[in-house]
Amino acid sequence: MTTQTLFILLSVLLISCASRFVPAVKPRQWILLAVSYFAYSSLAGYGFLALLIASSLMNYFWGSLLRKRPAAALLCAGIASNVLLLAFFKYLPPLARMWPAPFSELDFVQRIVLPLGVSFWTFQAISYLFDTYLEEEMDPSLVEFCLYMAFWPTVVSGPVCRLTRMLPQFRSLPASVREDYSAGAVRLIQGLFMRFVLAELLATGVSQGGGVAAGFDSSGIQRSALDVWALAIGFGFQLFFDFAGYSNIVIGAARMVGIRLEENFNRPYLSTTPALFWARWHMSLSFWIRDYVYTPLATLRRDQWWRYAALAISMVIFGFWHDAKLTMLLWGTYQGLMLVGHRLGQQLSRRIPFNLPNPLATFLSWGATFALMSLGWVLFRANDLTQASRLLASVMSPSAYRLSRITLHPDYYFLVGLMVAGYFGYVGLTRLVELWTEFYQRELLNRAPSGTSLGGIALRTSNAVAIRKWWVLAPVLTLMLVSAGLGLFGKGSSTAPFIYMLF
């Protein structure tokens, strides 16, 4: 992120926040659409802005047809037009490289560039067509639909929104300015810290030993099993801090504008099963895959085996969506097999009368889930299949666990351990605060005079635990934190791009 980009986004945020004081809905919609188009064109260029507008007009047209006649053929045609658009920009260039030389060297193929955020706003368009076909109560105007497709906090990397949730907010004037600004500023600052400090530290490291990037990109080094585990866990947390940080930034920015977005992460590394992990990680996209890929596939047949096959196919598609690489296909297959294995294990456990004590069973289930998910990140991050095979082979080799074979710098191990311990410590402390809040509510309720409303109790509790002065300090702290993030690692005026902007 350059200083110029930061200035543009801050300007867009300020104008968007000011729009909430406009006393009419329609002018506010036009202002938000204008600043969204300005932000996207500043980041991606006018050519890709024209493509976004064309996609919006095309899908608005398909939606109008589906509202008049909800036919499966029209739905398939609308989805196909979106998939073809996405495939042309995202999959044609990498697949063309596999063609014979005369075709792979065609000039127009070499010049295809992936539009910024095309995957995310295409998914939003497809969900709109599906929901319209299912006769959800939606009748957006052209301006409202274009705003849904281009809303500047979400257009680049999500969260993937549903029009059924966004449309009522576009049509109402937001209240509680102080509450929205306070809560949004806290989320914004939290996200900036996660992305520009924690994720950047894991990516680059703190010494000459390097971080995750150097660990995966160094060639000709045979990593030990402990090295592989450290790289896998380190990249898993780098990806989490990167994308969860981005999600916090856009959720906070949208909240300051008066729009409440869905949560995208919910303590995923505390998950005790693969299914629970995917219900907590990148939730907007996970639920999109469930609702618009898995469910339609699973309903094609009633056989139990087909439900398992549909689950595996959905995760393979999920992997292929990230990139047209063999490693991503294998990553999706791996995730699908874990989900199927979890369901089979649930059925088997019902037939076995023996059960471990609950704390021990929960801990073992969490440990197995954490280890399996971490190993999956090797396939996700590896540069090619050869590297992934070599790294995973080390994990499977008992001799590779000798301390004498460690190749990563000790500082990297210290950094990963610190990040992991800090994350779980933070989660534990926030849980204690939640428990204390619940206890405080009960105490207030028990001591309150008869006739006191629960709403009043909840309000007093929230006022007691809220950091009410954040909203005053937010602009100063935001600028200080971003400035520190941009200059902390000696990279001049830029940092590494957000990981999910690459997809």
pLDDT tens profile 413-434: 999 999 999 999 998 888 888 7
- From the number of C-beta atoms within 10 Å of its C-beta (0-12, 13-18, 19+), residue 497 rates as exposed
pLDDT at 107: 64
Does one domain contain both 157 and 32?
yes
- From the number of C-beta atoms within 10 Å of its C-beta (0-12, 13-18, 19+), residue 6 rates as middle
Indicate whether 103 pLDDT > 80.
Answer: no
Indicate whether 262 pLDDT > 70.
Answer: yes
* Residue 473 counted as domain residue: no
* Residue 376 counted as domain residue: no
Tokens 């050869």 — which residue? Answer: 386
Of 353 and 47, which is predicted with more confidence?
A: 47
pLDDT at 467: 42
Query: Which of 298, 325, 347 lies at the terminal end of a domain, its last residue?
Result: 347
* Residue among 390, 376, 365 at smallest CA distance from 225: 390
* Residue 384 counted as domain residue: no
Q: Is the pTM of this model over 0.75?
A: yes
**End-to-end Cα spacing for the chain:** 17
DSSP string, 260-317: PPPP--S-GGG-SSHHHHHTTSSHHHHHHHIIIIIHHHHTT---HHHHHHHHHHHHHH
pLDDT tens digit sequence for 375-426: 999 999 999 999 999 999 999 999 999 988 899 999 999 999 999 999 999 9
pLDDT at 296: 94
Range of the domain at 283: 270-347
* Residue 40 counted as domain residue: yes
Count the domains in the chain. Answer: 2
Q: Are 204 and 213 in contact (CB under 8 A)?
A: yes
Does one domain contain both 160 and 22?
yes
Query: Which of 173, 190, 219 lies at the terminal end of a domain, its last residue?
Result: 173
Query: Which of 347, 375, 409 lies at the terminal end of a domain, its last residue?
Result: 347
Indicate whether 456 pLDDT > 60.
Answer: no
* Residue 243 counted as domain residue: no
* Residue 254 counted as domain residue: no
* Residue 445 counted as domain residue: no
* Residue 291 counted as domain residue: yes
Give the chain's mean pLDDT.
87
Does one domain contain both 28 and 151?
yes
Q: Are 166 and 257 in contact (CB under 8 A)?
A: no
Lowest mean pLDDT among 4-18, 167-181, 318-332, 467-481: 467-481
